[in-house]
Amino acid sequence: MKLASGDAKLLDETAQLASIRGRSLWADARGRFLRNRAALLGLIVLVLVAIFALFGGYFAKYEPDYVDFSLMGANAYRGVPSFESGHYFGVDFDGRDLFARTVQGTGISMLVGVVGALVAVVVGTLYGATAGYIGGRVDNIMMRTVDILMSIPFMFVLILMLVIFGRSMFMLFLGIGLISWLDMSRIARGQTLSIKNKEFVEAAVATGVRPFTIILRHVVPNLLGIVIVYSTLLVPQMIIFESFISYLGLGIQEPQTSLGALINQGAEQMNNGTLWMLAFPLFFFLVTLFAFFFVGDGLRDALDPKDR
Amino acid sequence: MYVYIIKRLAVAIPTILILVVFSFVLMYWAPGGPFNSERPLPAQVMANIEAKYGLDQPVWKQMIDYVWGVVTRFDFGPSFQYTDRTVNDVIAQGFPVTLTYGFWSAIAAVLVGVTLGIAAALKHNSWLDYIAVGITIGAQALPNFVMAPILVLIFTLWLGWLPGGGWNGGQWQYVIMPVIALSTSYMASIARITRSSMLEVMNSNFIRTARAKGLPMRRVVLRHALKPTLLPVISYLGPAVVGMITGSVVVDIAFSTGGIGQFFVNSAFNRDYSVIMGITILVGMLTITFNLLVDILYAWIDPKIRY
């Protein structure tokens, strides 16, 4: 038996095709992301801020809660930022090293932001995907519930909760988690509605896969792109949210601190000429937010096919 | 249309009730009664006080009384910390202040935001457009509690033009900074929404027709493009006003304007449950009512909407 020459050529070409690696959706998205200069810069800045929050503590000469009584109340003229004294960012009103406190505040703010976004992603995606996949009356009830929850002024309810159950990290996380998943569930539901009619879901149904397994195995992975985009945009929102609560003095409790609390203290002490108390936390706050916004924007351009 | 309004009301009213009940249950769960102080009161005094505030009644009776009071008489009960004032007194004192700067903030945000957005869209890809986009990105990352101290720093400490805080009966010098702090981020969002909406509208067929007829640009923009452009802006007004009400907490703290937010935070520190609860419910009612109004307005303006 012998192959016709045309067939042989075809075989050859197929073999060549196989050796060329196909570009996946993710590789494509990575390429688009890396070409976006603002997003790349944002990512680099984020990594730098994260390094600052994680390892900055090793460079601090003082503990964040160490009070230097000789500087207490005298920070305006004796706690000026300087390298000689080891207070790189100066000293706050209570005689504590602002560098160490900024490191701690940045860390806690980022932690709150990431955890809040994570809760939103897990709860919101599952909730939205379930509602969208099951559809019908269940969907109706689930999404009406979200509508009702969304129209409640959560900032006030959270403050009420923080007052009643006492202020703690856990309460803050719980409160932020309660709010943050609502938007995500709507987005996930909308996306699920279009995924659910695709052939691969039909195939899964036909082979008898249980609905919940279909949601986890087949629907959620296809939501990932949009979920990642919105969660990067959620993190700065959560950071702002936590800082807002801490700014009011109701969030993170002393001796721990967050950027919002530091900004609040800096703003209170503005009249004393200790501007560094405002400037350094504010700088890290804004830089982190901007970086997250740019990365989120870049990811949206890279992953969200609608916007192109 | 009426069916739609009734449907929306059917959701809004239970939402308010849920909020009231939820707040009440939270308050009931609160560890330690409102009158537990460091020095325990004599049992008889305690009993008298509890009888006065109705705390000796069974829970369900307390709750029904409270809800009934709120719904029928708009009565949020007495303050637990200050015996000489009720929650209604607190609201009556703080709310007009909040409404005043909230009103001006909303006006400023819409006027400036829409104008900036339209200008940026009409001069697409010009320096004006880039500046507008830059401002909107900047203002979005600058929350109001960051704005406020920066404003005080510039206008009070460096320039000395404006008073750094206080209300003084709502004199204009005292209103400016709260309004700027409160409205900037919403102004930015409105500008961004208007810009992208305007760009889309200007590329649509009916605008091309209008221009092909030879209408002057002014008329095309004002008569034909403006209305469809503003639709997404209107739907954003709901969340924006809610945000402004929440933001009033920051404004009151930063500028000591004496609005409702200041009472809210002070009560939060004093554990004055009834005041916190009253303000939460009031804000909730406002939020829900306003969202309802915006939705109805939207349904009324946009012929495409299904209800």
Phi, psi of B140 (to 5 degrees): -75, -35
Above 50 in pLDDT, residue A129? yes
Answer yes or no: do A152 and B277 touch at CB < 8 A: no
Q: What is the pLDDT of residue A308?
A: 41
Above 90 in pLDDT, residue B99? no
Within a domain: residue B121? yes
Q: What is the pLDDT of residue B34?
A: 59
Within a domain: residue A211? yes
Q: What is the pLDDT of residues B27-42, one digit of tens each?
A: 777 665 556 666 667 7
The amino acid that residue B161 corresponds to is W
Q: In a 3-state reduction of DSSP, which class is residue A92?
A: coil
Within a domain: residue B135? yes
Q: What is the pLDDT of residue A307?
A: 44
Report CA torsion sign: B137, B141, B147, B153. negative
Above 90 in pLDDT, residue B111? yes
Q: Residue B152 is nearest to which of A164, A166, A270, comparing CB atoms? A: A270
Beta bridge partners of B78: B86
Give dist(CA B192, CA B190) in Å, integer. 5
How would residue B23 be classed by pLDDT, with cut points 50, 70 and 90? confident
Q: Is B251 within 8 Å of B101 (Cβ atoms)?
A: yes
Q: Is B217 within 8 Å of B225 (Cβ atoms)?
A: no
Answer yes or no: do B26 and A161 touch at CB < 8 A: yes
CA nearest neighbour of B28 among B56, B59, B4: B59
Within a domain: residue B294? no
Suggest the residue from B16, B135, B146 to mutate for an interface test with chain A (most A CBs closer than 10 A).
B146
Which of A67-71, A119-123, A304-308, B106-110 shows the lowest mean pLDDT across its residues?
A: A304-308
Dmax (CA) for chain A in angstroms is 98
Q: Which residues of B touch A293 (CB under 8 A)?
A: 137, 140-141
Above 90 in pLDDT, residue A181? no
- Show the tokens assigned to B106: 């909303």
Within a domain: residue A81? yes
Above 80 in pLDDT, residue A111? yes
CA-based nearest residue in chain B for residue A162? B268
Question: Average of pLDDT values for A223-252?
Answer: 82
The amino acid that residue B44 corresponds to is Q
Which of A67-71, B61-65, B169-173 shows the lowest mean pLDDT across its residues?
A: A67-71
Pairs of residues, one from chain A and one from chain B, whose beta carbons lie less than 8 Å apart = 111
Question: Average of pLDDT values for A229-257?
Answer: 81
- Show the tokens assigned to A70: 């000789």
Question: Average of pLDDT values for B211-215?
Answer: 89
Q: What is the pLDDT of residue B307?
A: 53
Report CA torsion sign: A211, A216, A217, A220. positive
CATH of the domain at A232: 1.10.3720.10
Above 80 in pLDDT, residue B105? yes
Q: Which residue has the higher pLDDT, B166 or B307?
A: B166
What's the pTM value of the predicted model, to 2 decimals? 0.77
Within a domain: residue A1? no
**Strand positions, DSSP E, A137-192:** none
Number of domains forming the structure of chain B? 1
Within a domain: residue B244? yes
Q: Which residues of A touch B283 (CB under 8 A)?
A: 153, 156
Which of A195-209, B179-193, B199-213, B274-288 shows the lowest mean pLDDT across its residues?
A: B274-288
Q: What is the pLDDT of residues A289-307, one digit of tens each?
A: 888 888 887 887 777 655 4
Q: What is the pLDDT of residue B115?
A: 92
Within a domain: residue A245? yes
Instruction: Give percent of chain B with pLDDT exceeding 70.
Output: 93
The 10 Å Cβ neighbour count of residue B253 is: 24
Q: Is B4 within 8 Å of B307 (Cβ atoms)?
A: yes
Shortest alpha-carbon distance between residue B30 and chain A (Å): 5
Q: What is the pLDDT of residues B246-303, one digit of tens each?
A: 788 888 888 888 888 888 888 877 777 788 888 888 888 888 888 888 888 877 777 6
Within a domain: residue B13? no
Suggest the residue from B136, B145, B265 to mutate for an interface test with chain A (most A CBs closer than 10 A).
B145
Within a domain: residue B68? no
Answer yes or no: do B142 and A286 touch at CB < 8 A: yes
Range of the domain at A254: 25-307
Within a domain: residue A8? no
Q: What is the pLDDT of residue B160?
A: 77
Within a domain: residue B80? no
Average pLDDT, chain B: 81
Number of domains forming the structure of chain A? 1
Q: Is A273 within 8 Å of B291 (Cβ atoms)?
A: no
- Residue that has been written with the tokens 């200069």 in this structure: A37
Shortest alpha-carbon distance between residue B299 and chain A (Å): 17
- Secondary structure (H, E, C), B51-94: HHCCCCCCHHHHHHHHHHHHHHHCCCCECCCCCCCEHHHHHHHH
CA nearest neighbour of A288 among A243, A224, A230, A227: A243
CATH of the domain at B136: 1.10.3720.10
Answer yes or no: do A157 and B242 touch at CB < 8 A: no
Within a domain: residue A96? yes
Give dist(CA A285, CA A106) in Å, integer. 8
Q: What is the pLDDT of residue B110?
A: 92
Average pLDDT, chain A: 80
Q: Which residues contact A25 (CB under 8 A, 6 or more apart)?
A: A225
Q: Is B194 within 8 Å of B114 (Cβ atoms)?
A: yes
Within a domain: residue B205? yes
